[in-house]
A and B are shown apart, each in its own frame.
Chain A
């Protein structure tokens, strides 16, 4: 992956952490420059993601309130495929995604977009694998409910995978 693609991947990951595009831009730039100062160049996507994540967490430590919700009881697999009506478009996804909690959106992004396994996400985020599975499951459930109510359809299909 070349540097430009790495930056774009880092930008999309930063977006998954917080909803404001301006914040994501700043995060990826600062992480990139820090890694360059420390290592001379950036080649490793996981290292870039970890640097972005650490910066994001550090911004929250500086005075912002972080509220934790209790997770659902049982962690299911992360491979449950959620099928949606054909009328649901990519544009319909924006608002429901922004309404997710940061950790839900992050886990879902790493699974659905980057193709990480639950264990890889657990290693990157420092969370237990079961917590990662619960976050993904809850995020998908919230999106399904939001998109179902938008289209007004009967409940969507949900098959295990």
Chain B
């Protein structure tokens, strides 16, 4: 008598990707020297932004100044229209890929229902590491950008509001220990 589990195991063990296909996949996954240099440059640029932001945040500023600065930062990043660094179809996958973040990226449920996740990239808000998440409206295909970062005492001072800055409509709010900015503009 033969056990079914052994037959199943033998069946699947016979299935193999051809070795030349394995070679091709591994070769495609290898970073090129140019992309390795680009990665180092991105990390260096991010480090420079974080250092500059750390120095900046120690300067005392009023709440109105802070709101204006955050709006300007979000609008500037939105208008740069940078491509995502991590493509993802669900927030768990995005969270796992952006493992330098120390806060959950999950936006409110209604946002998840109405907008399809495209992917994300690192950025900063007021010197704090943040996530820039690309979203696409399920009904119209319109692209929005969601910014998220851990809530700091300064960011907590910004009240929930929606305004237009540099032709970008921006909604800001805090929820669950995370500061969010949703940008929509041409």
Q: CB-defined interface of B1-43 with A at 8 Å, one 1/0 digit per residue?
A: 1111101111111111100011001101101000000000000
Task: Check A7–B1 contact: CB distance below 8 A.
Answer: no
Choose from A39, A82, A143 the contact partner of B97 (Cβ within 8 Å): A39
Known contacts A8-B16, A97-B11, A109-B8: A88-B25 contact under CB 8 Å: no
**B86 within 8 Å of A by Cβ?**
yes
Task: Check A86–B2 contact: CB distance below 8 A.
Answer: yes
**A83 within 8 Å of B by Cβ?**
yes
Task: Check B2–A25 contact: CB distance below 8 A.
Answer: no
Q: Which of A28-36, A67-75, A117-125 contacts B (4 or more CB under 8 A)?
A: A28-36
- Chain A residue total in the interface (Cβ 8 A): 47
B residues in contact with A89, CB < 8 Å:
7
A residues in contact with B96, CB < 8 Å:
38, 47
Q: How many residue-residue contacts, CB under 8 A, span A and B?
A: 96
Task: Check A34–B87 contact: CB distance below 8 A.
Answer: yes
**A3 within 8 Å of B by Cβ?**
yes
Closest Cβ–Cβ distance, residue A20 to chain B (whole Å): 12
Task: Check B17–A112 contact: CB distance below 8 A.
Answer: no
Known contacts A16-B12, A84-B4, A97-B11: A38-B97 contact under CB 8 Å: yes
Task: Check A88–B2 contact: CB distance below 8 A.
Answer: yes
Extra contacts, 16 of them, besides A83-B2, A88-B7, A93-B7 (Cβ < 8 A), are A3-B26, A7-B26, A8-B16, A11-B16, A12-B12, A12-B15, A28-B25, A29-B25, A32-B25, A36-B29, A37-B86, A47-B96, A83-B3, A108-B8, A143-B4, A147-B4
Which 10 pairs between the two chains have the least Cβ-Cβ distance? Answer: A38-B97, A82-B4, A83-B1, A36-B29, A112-B5, A112-B8, A11-B17, A12-B12, A90-B10, A93-B11
Instruction: Name B residues whose Cβ lies closer than 8 Å to a Cβ of A.
Output: 1-5, 7-17, 21-22, 25-26, 28-29, 31, 86-87, 89-90, 93, 96-97
> Would you give 21 A-B contacts (Cβ < 8 Å), ordered by A?
A7-B22, A8-B16, A12-B12, A12-B15, A32-B25, A39-B97, A42-B29, A54-B90, A83-B1, A83-B3, A83-B4, A84-B2, A84-B3, A84-B7, A86-B2, A88-B7, A93-B7, A93-B11, A109-B12, A112-B5, A143-B4
